[in-house]
Amino acid sequence: MVISPDTGGIKRAEKFRRDLSLVLHREAGSGFMEKHRGGGVVSGEALIGDVAGKTVVIIDDLISTGGTMIRTARACRQAGAVKVHAAATHGIFTGEADKLFADPVIDQLVIVNTIPPFRIVSEATRAKLVVLDGAELLAEAIRRIHTGGSVVDLLTL
């Protein structure tokens, strides 16, 4: 199951779900977490999607404080997910993010090295952190921009 932690990321999560389905040679499910912001408070309890007995990948563009990811991971676990992986392009990890991700509610945390995860010092968080190298993809995008190639084609399987 691919889960977006909010409705704003549904298109991103759907693209990831389609690509994952191609790689797995079977359809991956999808869902999203309800999220509202008001007065500096995040609310919304509904998890849309059947995650019971499944492995979940929560996909987002960035992680700042980690609150959205952890909130979604906890909802997935409460709904019966057997494994929860969190993935984001940029790991900023501000505030209490290091402590939050030490929580065993998330099995694995995957980011790209666009921002070094220097704020992650907790051994429990470091043990589950996977940092992917984005240099080759970025270099190819730059090459295509300068030679008139398609960056869009680069982003498809």
Active site residues: 35
Interior angle at CA 54, CA 134 and CA 67, nearest 5? 55
- For residue 6 the two structure tokens come to 């909010």
Judge whether 82 and 105 are in contact, CB under 8 Å.
Answer: no
For β-strands 36-38 and 41-43, DSSP reports them as antiparallel
Instruction: Count CB atoms within 10 A of the CB of residue 130.
Output: 10
